[in-house]
Structure 1
Amino acid sequence: MELNRLVDARICDELFSLAQTKCKHFTCAPAGTGLTSSGLQILATALAVFGWLGDIIICALPLWKVTAFIGTNIVTAQTFWEGLWMNCVQQSTGQMQCKVYDSMLALPQDLQAARALVIISILVTFLGILLAVAGGKCTNCIDERDAKAKVVVAAGVFFLVGGVLCLIPVCWCANTVISDFYNPLLSEAQKRELGASLFIGWGASGLQIIGGALLCCQCPKSDGRGYSVKYSAPRSAPGAYV
């Protein structure tokens, strides 16, 4: 009986020692990873992509400023559209004529700044999309997990910067339109209203900022190595071997 107890105790000690040796280098992944994190990355990237498409739309469409139908302009036969690259005139018959601006220096300051900022926003957001795809959990462009996390956070920063770069010219142009609309020194024919591009720009910048914030929220902790699981073998009572 005593011999069996002695053998069982030694077997238990050997098993616990073996388990401690095998699991010494085992680390547990931090909470919040896996499917949920991948879903947030995909959602954030999708939002940024839609915002990036919105940037392209507002850059191309000449709908930043449109004719204000007030006073005698209600019965006007022409509608004026102004964009970053051209202005268009739509007749009451439905015919439309567009003309590219002859000189960039002849543009108002808000549209000149909008040209540069919107183009930079498009490029910055595009780089962010590339980084988000490269650092995504569903891709194998980068093998190291810590490097992937840093790339994803960098993509989030690019999205935030792109959204702000899009938001600045849109708000600036909207402020100019509203100020001119209530300026008594301007005639009714010179006054404009907010065009569709401004509303699209607000939505696009919001999507980029939200997408960037979601990616930046996944910033890895400084001790991202996880925590080690340690096992300690129980001490056998001295009387068990007697």
Structure 2
Amino acid sequence: MYKQLQMVLLTTKVMQRVALFISFGGLITTFVTTFLPLWKTLNTELNEMENWYEGLWHTCIFTEEVGVQCKAFESLLALPSDVLASRVLMFISIGTGMLAVTVAFFGLDGVELGPSRAQLKRGLLILGGVLSWVSGIATLLPISLVAYMTVVEFWDQSVPDVVPRWEFGEALFSGWFSGLILVTGGSFFFVSVCMRDCSEASSPPSTQDTPRTQEYLKTEVL
């Protein structure tokens, strides 16, 4: 009974849809993370009720009296190199993630592309997995870069101890999560391709019974 239930759940079609769902979830999380102003947080000891937040696009301050106030970065050329590189990589991640979900959708079993399109659908799934991997790596790189720069600045001995230091924000953790989810979704696409190849290799070739025709000898009566 357990083996039958496992065979029903772990089918190629189910694995394909799980991979598509995971990749789509990672794409949405990456999109939200890109525009969240919570990449870095800062809290001053002089005023504990005042919190600063910084993202790729805005710097925000939160106070109990006023609430949240955000200000966008004024000049693109004045941006730090890590922020500018993170913007580019996050846009690459979003673009490749959208392509991965779109391409992989047309490679799913059940989506008709015409007769004799098995190899094309297999190629689309592989391409979707590769693009999902690229999207995940493009998400992990800027998140790790900003985290590294934050750690370096936090332990910088040249900065006086009285100066507040930036720390990790919630967006970094959601970015790490979305990057790993995208890589996992791409890996599941490859697993589904391997499952389809194994099922096709193990299944016996379909033979159709050809109707037997009886040949009659025509005899002539002399």
| SS of residue in 2 equivalent to 1:183 | coil
Q: Flag the structure with larger Rg.
A: 1
Identity over aligned pairs, percent? 26
Partners of 1:58 and 1:104 lie apart in 2 by: 20
Alignment match, 2:211: none
d(CA) in 1 for partners of 2:158 and 2:205?
73
Q: How high is the TM-score relative to the length of structure 2?
A: 0.79
The reply on whether 1:207 has 2:190 as its aligned counterpart is no
1:183 to 153, 156, 168: 156
Runs of at least 5 residues in structure 1 that lack an aligned partner in the other structure: 1-31, 231-242
Partner of 2:23: 48
- 2:12 aligned with 1:37, yes or no? yes
- The one-letter amino acid paired with 1:100 is A
Q: Deviations over 1:43-94 (max 9, x none)?
A: 111111111011111111100011045xxx2644421111111111112325
1:120 aligned onto 2:92: yes
Cα pair 2:39 2:170 within 8 Å, conserved: yes
CA distance in 2, matches of 1:148, 1:186: 57
Match of 1:97 in 2: 69
Distance 2:114 2:55 in 1: 41
1:227 Cα deviation (Å)? Answer: 6.4
Residue-by-residue CA offset, 1:165-218 (whole Å, 9 max, x unaligned): 000000010111111111122245441110111000000001000000111234
Number of matched pairs: 195
| d(CA) in 2 for partners of 1:173, 1:214 | 29
RMSD (Å), alpha carbons:
2.5
Map 1:52-71 to 2 at 5 A. Answer: 52-68=27-43
- Name the TM-score, length of structure 1 as normaliser: 0.73
1:145 aligns with 2:118: yes
Higher relative CO (CA 8 A, sep ≥ 6), structure 1 or 2?
Answer: 1
